[in-house]
Amino acid sequence: MGCSAKWTGPKPDLFIRTGGDQRLSNFLLWHLAYTELYFTDTLWPDFGADDFHAALEAFAERERRFGGVPDAGTGA
């Protein structure tokens, strides 16, 4: 059994994938169910503070629903 199956820490809120790939590659697959995903073309060695702040700004603008649906304003 892999190490990720034994992970008991908190589930991440934000997952940042560098290098232009838009896949998880089975990394913490079950733990990322309600995690916000951020993909960037910047390669890891070049990923700096400005890139990190851009990821945090994108994360702050998202509406987190944790599997729910947005309120349609129907009054129900």
Tens-digit pLDDT string for the chain (76 aa): 455 457 788 889 999 999 999 998 888 888 888 999 999 999 999 999 999 999 999 999 999 888 788 776 655 4
**What distance, in Å, lies between the first and last C-alpha atoms of the chain?**
46
The answer for 23, left when phi > 0, alpha when psi is -120 to 50, beta otherwise, is beta
Each domain of the chain, given as residue ranges in start order, spans 11-60
Tokens of 28: 């913490």
Task: Write the burial class of residue 25 (CB in 10 Å: 0-12 exposed, 13-18 middle, 19+ buried).
Answer: exposed
pTM above 0.95, yes or no: no
